[in-house]
Structure 1
Amino acid sequence: MDPGNNTGISEFQLLGFSEEPELQPLIFGLFLSMYLITVFGNLLLILAVSSDSHLHTPMYFFLANLSFIDICFTSTAVPKMLVNIQTQKKVITYDSCITQMYFFILFASLDNFLLTVMAYDCFVAICHPLHYMVIMNPRFCGLLVLVSWILSVLHSLLHTSMVLRLSFCTEVEITHFFCEINQIIQLACSDTFLNNMVIYFAAMLLAGGPFIGILYTYSKIVSSIRGISSAQGKYKAFSTCTSHLSVVSLFYCTSLGVYLSSAATQSSQASAVASVMYTVVTPMLNPFIYSLRNRDIKGALMRFSRMATLKGTIILELKKCP
């Protein structure tokens, strides 16, 4: 399909947060810092899990995948915004906008599905501990991640193909820092009823379904923990899923907060500010939540840092040799 024949435009304007020139360096520095922390923190978590044989378990396999997805999720929106601020340009081409929207929906969906998979992992670990390794075998874990990718790709393709059928007129200003699907649909000068219906039904099915699944698994987990007689056993079982519960709460609360605040205020600017929470802040905090509350991760990070320091020392010594 040739976008130019269908839309009548070739580019959009990403207005971002503020047009005040004096605020641009502050916004640039803030988002650059958060982006670097997000990438470095999640990358360090992936390296720690992959380098430590003690962490080659289903829970940490899913955690490494979540960290990779969080890096990709943040990278769909923030780098383009930083480039726009640095170059003082707000233009994004039609093709780039559609591509950005596709990958944003893809990785947001993957986050959602993977958090659900991790909830199921916690459920099996606490409610069926004797059968954990049999149920959560490597093949089944790989299948769960593969299914999450397939569903996310299909979900993103559905929304993208629906947007490609729209026509756009002269209003090309997106009051956001990335190509958010609702913002793009609002700019269309053709009928968007079908697009809105697809968004609502997909949200209920592919976001509401996993959320209900997470609530159900945690109801079973709480019921199982209450059945444990010793206080130490209860604490150990509960500590298994506290990090995941924190991440789930952060992800869903910020996501719901964005759309509820957007619906209440009808302000695109407020929606853009609120979107920062689940596009930047949540992926940035995930590594800290898992590392600060997990002895295994802290131990793996310490071993990885010692190993990296040792390798660096050996390389320096070799360079000194004639």
Structure 2
Amino acid sequence: MAHEQKPGNSSLSRAMQGVLFIGLSAYLAHLIQADKLSLYIVPRLEPAVRAAGLALFLLGAWQALQSLRDTIPRYACACEEGRKPGLRRKLAALWLALPLLLGALLPDTVLGASVADKKGLVWNPGDYAAKSAELYAGGGGGKGGGGKDGGGSPQSFSPEVSAARLREYELLADELHGQDWIRIGDVGYMERLAAMDLNRERFVGKTLQLSGFVYPAEDRAGAFFLSRLVMQCCSADSLPYGLLIEGAEATAFKRDDWVRVTGTLREVPYQNQMILALTAVSVESMEKPSSPYVYPYTGAYADLP
């Protein structure tokens, strides 16, 4: 028997979902407007996130319109009586509310030494790059940054591709070795460090300048690691890279200070390995950047600026 159906829980549920979708879209818009999206994802993913924000807004608007439609009295059969939002829909709404709550309660902070405390520090980037290439060549699992985009699966790399990547490191080392004064900036940060570390003996005595945050070398008095966070895909997979800094100039700064260091490269033993270290000639304080991250270079290393 048909009867007039009154608005109920279904309308409220749709309205709540619409608010959550639009809220998530607004939060993404805030991150984009404040130029803080780079704190969470690599730049190459930003277009996809912008599109997702637009899709969330459209979904929210649709749900809001549907909830308004549900408030209009209409006739329905008795089989629709008592229909209420299921547990699955309620859990989905709570799941959507979680990132909004976290975004509202937690500040957008620039990460630093705390990440190295939890994950450890990559102070041998050349060995790390070489092992990653071997894993990719063998199709094995494990972490590594050997792919061209820094995030491919190991099975997608052949031995030829891995050998070509290692050859690129050699050519990059040749280019760097030809410079009297080497400066490492944000672009190509990990690639240049890895190229020099794979050819340590060639770079002993070279002058180098780079910047980062201070991470104390607790097992080496009067020294610290000059560190940067390398993000492969998102902030959750970021990995701290560091170069050992020694010398009298290295003792005046504390943990998480951002500094620019110029010095002379040498090879030193550290934890039963030989690594590159920089004997500091000057250590200058610098302003903390808006983002602490550097990203894998996605093109040919020969094209690095």
- The answer, yes or no, to whether TM exceeds 0.5 is no
TM-score (norm 1): 0.23
Write 1 or 2 for the structure with the bigger share of strand.
2
Larger CA Rg, structure 1 vs 2:
2
| Structure ranking higher in helix proportion | 1
